[in-house]
Structure 1
Amino acid sequence: MFDPKLTALLPDLASYILVVTEGSFTGAAKKLNVTPSALSKLITRLEQALNCKLVERTTRKLIITQAGQKVYDQAMVMMNAAQQAVEVSQSEHLEPRGSLTVAAPEAFLNSVLQPHVTTFLHLYPEIQLKLRVADGEIDLFRDGIDIAFKLTDKPDENLVLKEIGTTNLVLCASPKYLAERGTPIHPTELSMHDCLYLAETARDNIWEFARDDAFFTISVSGRYAVNHSQMRLSGVKNHFGIGIFHDFVVQQALDNGEVVKVLPEWTIKSNYHGVIAMQYLQTQYMPTRLRVFIDFINAKLMAR
């Protein structure tokens, strides 16, 4: 049985959540229609009630303490539960409504998901859809994500998983480039070619290949590197070198003959291949807007 005195903390916890998500007292105060000083006093009162320091206040930025992060995480559980209570109280026949935040890797969002977004928005005019490019690791709970699409051979075991397909990586180049520079027949020959890579991290030009029991790690280089799949594909089409792409990014160009596969008998090793995973938090009561989006995308992508 919870302590009735805790109910007095709920409004302050809700205000604290807004401070964290906004990253400042000023931004949160504007949304709450109070002054920053009043909000600062409220957080001080909450810190005294909880007997812990939640934020470090500096002249330049707001720093959340370790205890403050834990309080925020638990407060978000509270807010999510409150949101679910509101949604459960609504009749199922009501039109799906509310905000839905979806995260996906840039290549998948641009090549696969984006064409279906407008159709979904036309079907459900009361849903506000927020799309985020997320190529790295994300925390659905911390980052306020309702659904995350991941291209991986290791889906998050702590989230609900719905597999909607598979994806592999493809090495390709334009026929003109290969005619001029030659077609590599072994991964080690890539060191003699111009290659297009992401250039996001120091290891993005390190490509790994496997076939049967053979395994090769190759350091590549080239005149053009870009962390945007369509721009990188455009570079390959314009004969600047050899690039690696997800199959769904390059399939049309392959079908049109604009590019051809290179070393197709080799498997490209990467963290970003395997299943196309649609993942979301486990919840007893799924919001209608979430359910209709899952069903819609599943129907569209499974039919591909």
Structure 2
Amino acid sequence: MDRLTGMEVFVRAVEYGSFSAAGEAMQMSSQLVGKHVQKLEQHLGVQLLYRSTRRQSLTDFGRIFYERAKLILSEVETAESMAAETRAVPSGRLRINAPVSFGMQTLSPRLPEYMKAYPEVSVELTLANRAVDLIEEGYDAVFRVGELSDSGLIARQLAPYRLVLCAAPAYLEKRDPLASPWDLQKHECLGFLYTELRTHWTFDGPDGREVVPVTSRLMVDHGEPLLCAALEGLGVMLQPMELVKDYLADGRLVALLPAYSVPTRPLHILYAPDRRLTPKLRSFIDFSVASFGPSGNANLLPKENRLGD
């Protein structure tokens, strides 16, 4: 800190034009200002100021050092401000966007926990399966499933998004059994309008990765209507674990193709690059990583409802 104090005294002496003026501004004697500058010069081994009884002026190196010292002091001030903001109480409106199924099944049940912890934060949550524009639409943070494009946003990785192939027992009783992913071409597939799930479903099995083209009589842009259709026995669906786990647990849906797994999809929380995160945004990001991060408890598929186990 002595070196930083010396830099600050030197910068003030240059800006105020004299040791006495700098000392008055910093509430120290002109003699102490002189000692700080002299000690800094001794440390550097270079003269910074030409001094006489009437005036002072910068040496060539002193001019360069002055500019660099100002930058260093500015960075120190910024760092201290960040620390102060971290200690501040989160408050204000927080705008968040999330995919529909994740937002309804995973985020919404945990959101009251965050709001109870930070009572001065108000939350505005929207759910959409399209990729919203965080900057243009004024969001503080968005959750996004899938591979990320180079958007310039900052991304924090969360636990991967798991998809499950399943159908209702009533549907399976009327159809030929599924032995491999290619048997799906003989079944009714309930289609999701977004991403590649509209046209093909991907599986990893004993012989490697298999990509199966699918066609659908019913195409929907939200998972919840597909869930309703599946429960009514209209077909097979490939949807997030968050959406179907309770129905798998009570037997209203049955997981299919136990020898095959569906590749997980990345899940991130994104926010705009900013050197000074507001306390409300920092608190929500920390909450999200703790609640939904890679080290969180994954939802396990109930073994008793895996068809073929």
TM-score interval w.r.t. the shorter chain?
A: 0.5 to 0.7
Alignment pair present for 1:286 and 2:286: no
Which residue of 226, 230, 239 maps to 2:224? 230
SS of alignment partner, residue 274 of structure 1 = coil
Superposition deviation, residue 110 in structure 1:
0.8
State the distance in 1 between where 2:94 and 2:267 align.
20
% identical aligned pairs:
27
Answer whether contact 1:173 1:259 (CA < 8 A) is retained. yes
Q: Once the two structures are superposed, what CA deviation does each residue of 1:233-269 show, in whole Å capped at 9, x if it has no partner?
A: 1221221110011122222222222212222433546
SS of alignment partner, residue 225 of structure 2 = helix
Q: Once the two structures are superposed, what CA deviation does each residue of 1:159-188 show, in whole Å capped at 9, x if it has no partner?
A: 222222112221111122112213221233
Partner of 2:128: 134
Partner of 2:210: 215
> Aligned in 2, Cα 1:277/1:164: closer, same or farther, shift over 3 Å?
same
Partner of 1:296: 287
State the distance in 2 between where 1:201 and 1:279 align.
19
State the distance in 1 between where 2:83 and 2:285 align.
21
Answer whether contact 2:129 2:194 (CA < 8 A) is retained. no
> Aligned in 2, Cα 1:240/1:265: closer, same or farther, shift over 3 Å?
same
Which residue of 251, 254, 258 maps to 2:248? 254
State the distance in 2 between where 1:235 and 1:247 align.
17
Q: Where do 1:1-40 residues align within 5 Å?
A: none
> Aligned in 2, Cα 1:296/1:202: closer, same or farther, shift over 3 Å?
closer
Answer whether contact 1:193 1:221 (CA < 8 A) is retained. no
SS of alignment partner, residue 165 of structure 1 = coil
Structure index of larger Rg:
2
Superposition deviation, residue 122 in structure 1:
2.9
SS of alignment partner, residue 136 of structure 1 = coil
> Aligned in 2, Cα 1:263/1:153: closer, same or farther, shift over 3 Å?
farther
Which residue of 81, 106, 111 maps to 2:105? 111
Partner of 2:191: 197
State the distance in 2 between where 1:207 and 1:91 align.
46
Partner of 2:70: none
Normalising by the residue count of structure 1, what TM-score does the alignment of the two structures yield? 0.61
Instruction: Write the letter of the residue equivalent to 1:221.
Output: S
Superposition deviation, residue 205 in structure 1:
4.3
Q: Once the two structures are superposed, what CA deviation does each residue of 1:73-96 show, in whole Å capped at 9, x if it has no partner?
A: xxxxxxxxxxx9xx9798655432
> Aligned in 2, Cα 1:283/1:91: closer, same or farther, shift over 3 Å?
closer
Partner of 2:157: 163
Q: Which runs of no fewer than 5 residues in structure 1 stay unpaired?
A: 1-83
State the distance in 1 between where 2:250 and 2:150 align.
36
Alignment pair present for 1:180 and 2:174: yes
Report the aligned-residue RMSD. 3.0
Which residue of 277, 287, 293 maps to 2:268? 277
State the distance in 1 between where 2:255 and 2:197 align.
23
State the distance in 1 between where 2:127 and 2:194 align.
15
Instruction: Write the letter of the residue equivalent to 1:228.
Output: H
Instruction: Write the letter of the residue equivalent to 2:181.
Output: P
Answer whether contact 1:190 1:220 (CA < 8 A) is retained. no
Superposition deviation, residue 156 in structure 1:
4.7
Answer whether contact 2:165 2:236 (CA < 8 A) is retained. yes
State the distance in 2 between where 1:294 and 1:91 align.
15
Q: Which runs of no fewer than 5 residues in structure 2 stay unpaired?
A: 1-77, 298-309
Partner of 1:241: 235
State the distance in 1 between where 2:266 and 2:258 align.
20
Answer whether contact 2:155 2:271 (CA < 8 A) is retained. yes
Q: Once the two structures are superposed, what CA deviation does each residue of 1:261-293 show, in whole Å capped at 9, x if it has no partner?
A: 222433546xxx422211212211110000111
State the distance in 1 between where 2:209 and 2:126 align.
38
Answer whether contact 1:171 1:264 (CA < 8 A) is retained. no
Q: Once the two structures are superposed, what CA deviation does each residue of 1:214-247 show, in whole Å capped at 9, x if it has no partner?
A: 533323223x443221231122122111001112
Q: Once the two structures are superposed, what CA deviation does each residue of 1:58-111 show, in whole Å capped at 9, x if it has no partner?
A: xxxxxxxxxxxxxxxxxxxxxxxxxx9xx9798655432112111111111011
State the distance in 2 between where 1:266 and 1:210 align.
5
> Aligned in 2, Cα 1:237/1:268: closer, same or farther, shift over 3 Å?
same
State the distance in 2 between where 1:201 and 1:216 align.
14
Superposition deviation, residue 300 in structure 1:
2.4
